[in-house]
Amino acid sequence: MEKDLVEYIAKSLVDDPSEVVVNMIEGEKSTILELKVASDDIGKVIGKHGRIAKAVRTILSASATKTGKRIVLEILD
């Protein structure tokens, strides 16, 4: 569910939605989501001073309270 959420948000932000890839790595107590976008779109996903990335992480942590797991979003370049 969180993977789909990140993918939807990222595709809404970038100019080239076909380049958006989200990998999910499951752990015991945490889940890592790796977001990869086109190099031209990396700034759109991070935002000024990291505001957009922080907002997406906040939404993820709210979504993760149901499962009790910690979710980490990594934006790869």
Quick one: pLDDT at residue 13?
A: 94
What is the C-alpha separation between 20 and 47, in angstroms, rounded? Answer: 16
Q: Which helix or strand (DSSP H or E) is residue 33 part of?
A: strand 30-36
Asked whether the beta carbons of 74 and 33 are under 8 A apart, the reply is: yes
Q: Which pTM was predicted?
A: 0.89
Quick one: pLDDT at residue 63?
A: 86
| Contacts (Cβ under 8 Å, ≥6 apart) of 44 | 13, 14, 15, 37, 52
How many domains is the chain partitioned into structurally? 1
Supply the range of the domain harboring residue 42.
Answer: 2-76
Quick one: pLDDT at residue 65?
A: 84
Q: What is the CATH number of the domain that holds 10?
A: 3.30.300.20
* pLDDT tens for the 77 residues of the chain, in order: 889 999 999 999 999 999 999 999 998 888 999 999 999 999 999 999 999 999 999 999 998 887 788 999 999 98
